[in-house]
Structure 1
């Protein structure tokens, strides 16, 4: 095809509608307005040094290591330099407002929910036969066979067999409820009695429970979670208020 195909703004909007992305875009616009309005209300200001640091982080995140790669990236995303600066400014406002609203609530949230941030180091073999799993469990308890030997004999996946059934370092949310309850109640190192799920019969070796610490990474995770939940509430409140006014406003979009 040799003809040049042009895409208009109206066609972009039409495609957003056809791909059912319009509600998501509208929510994003409203969310941005909420953040900017509340930041202004509480008097948050952005310093030049903060903008520069955020711009550098954004370039690093997207591997924009030269003026040429930066320009290409801007063209790809149809961004002008002013719009790039607006994007950086919005990122800074987002972070500063989250800090302003929730910095003093992170520690309490961590204390109340620290079980959700605990991690486990575990190994697992999944059987189809419950009786076989129980037999091997008792054999391990009696010292007749070791868990690594069971893993080597009964795991079919080659890489998983080589690692002895190692599942990695997992959070509670990574596990099925019936498994996580038993795993995080264990006293490592401990072999758990076989647990039945729809996937089969799980024979699990709990090597270590890693207690959570409120380090910088977890701090940022929690404050981001609190801020996101707050934004959802603000967004829902606006939608409820709009729904109440909708009969008198017609079919306009919330702005």
Structure 2
């Protein structure tokens, strides 16, 4: 099958297919991003070592359970790429990571603490029903101890998945909750029943199991760093396009 693909498909067909699937823009954008990265890497003298490439290749082999060299070669052949293609991809990703660190590592902590309020989390339970009277009745029943919040959510929530979880929503960041609701649920003591609050979804009852202060974890650091890097890439790519357009106009 792979031999057939190599022979039967030409670059023009690939471009045409990407356009028909509305994926062409994304591919072109990623190519522009790589140009931006290559230029910035050269300007800053960044490089990756052979050891770093080998370590990442070994990590990928373990992840894909490629135990023998023949397994790796078979996988590469199945992907229609050469060993050199694979190595270039690894080098590009490692260089992008190094560039992100060089550009923004000193800004991540400042950004985090300036926006720490948005990174606070609560362990949240939620119950949504479509009827206001039912929501009010459930509120009183839970307050009076006639039914637990968990049982009420299991029996009455409009969402099947949340019913199975007895209302459990998990750890939720302040920043992903609508501002008016976040202001209420983040200000209440743990285990206090909140609601009913009306939204487009219906009538909500909330219960906060606990508040988790903002913490700059390794995962959070990576997320902020990546977001900064992606925003920078977008801005630089747009600048590159504008420069190209101006140059073409002059010619």
Report the TM range for the smaller structure's normalisation.
0.7 to 0.9
Q: Which consecutive unaligned segments of at least 5 residues does structure 2 have?
A: none
Question: 1:246–1:186: structure 2 CA closer, same or farther, 3 Å change rule?
Answer: farther
Are the structure 2 counterparts of residues 51 and 153 from structure 1 closer, same or farther at C-alpha, using a change threshold of 3 Å?
closer
- TM-superposition CA deviations, 1:178-226 (whole Å, max 9, x none): 4334323333232111111111111111111222211211111111111
The TM-score with structure 2 as length reference comes to 0.86
In structure 1, stretches of 5+ residues that fail to align are 250-255
Structure 2 residue 39 is matched with structure 1 residue 9: no
Residues in 1 aligned to 2:201 and 2:45: alpha-carbon distance in whole angstroms: 54
**Number of equivalent positions:** 246
Partner SS, residue 193 of structure 1? strand
Q: For 1:135 and 1:55, locate their aligned partners in 2 and report how far apart those are by CA, in whole Å.
A: 60
CA 1:114/1:66 → structure 2, altered by over 3 Å: closer, same or farther? farther
Preserved contact between residue 193 and residue 203 of structure 1 (Cα < 8 Å): yes
Alignment equivalent of 1:75, drawn from 74, 77, 88: 77
| Whole-angstrom distance in 1 between the partners of 2:39 and 2:53 | 19
CA change 1:106–1:21 in 2 (3 A) is same
Question: 3-state SS of the aligned residue for 2:206?
Answer: strand
TM-score by length of 1: 0.84
Mark the CA change 1:15 to 1:148 in structure 2 (over 3 Å): closer, same or farther. closer
Name the residue aligned to 1:121. 123
User: What SS does structure 1 have at the residue aligned with 2:211?
Assistant: strand
Identify if the C-alpha distance between structure 1 residues 43 and 202 changes in structure 2 by more than 3 Å, giving closer, same or farther.
Answer: same
CA–CA distance in 2 between the matches of 1:152 and 1:13? 51
How much does 1:123 deviate? Answer: 1.4
Aligned match of 1:253:
none
SS in 1 for 2:195: coil
Change (3 A) 1:209 1:66: farther
Residues 115 and 17 of structure 1, relative CA distance in 2, 3 Å threshold: same
Cα distance in 2 for residues equivalent to 1:195 and 1:244: 54
Q: Distance in 2 between matches of 1:54 and 1:36?
A: 20
Change (3 A) 1:112 1:130: same
Alignment of 1:206-245 (within 5 A): 206-245=208-247
CA 1:244–1:172 in 2, change beyond 3 Å: closer, same or farther? farther
Cα distance in structure 2, aligned partners of 1:175 and 1:138: 25
State the match for 2:150 in structure 1.
148
Match of 2:203 in 1: 201
Moved more, 127-136 or 165-174: 165-174
Q: Distance in 2 between matches of 1:152 and 1:32?
A: 50
Match of 2:105 in 1: 103
Take 1:73 and 1:247, find their aligned partners in 2: how far apart are those partners?
46
Query: Distance between the aligned counterparts of 1:53 and 1:217, measured in 2?
Result: 21
- Alpha-carbon distance in structure 1 between the residues aligned to 2:203 and 2:193: 14
Q: CA deviation at 1:100?
A: 0.7
Determine the structure 2 residue equivalent to 1:252.
Answer: none
2:111 aligned with 1:93: no
| Aligned mate of 1:37, from 36, 39, 60 | 39
Residues 128 and 158 in structure 2, CA contact (< 8 A), matched pair in contact too: no
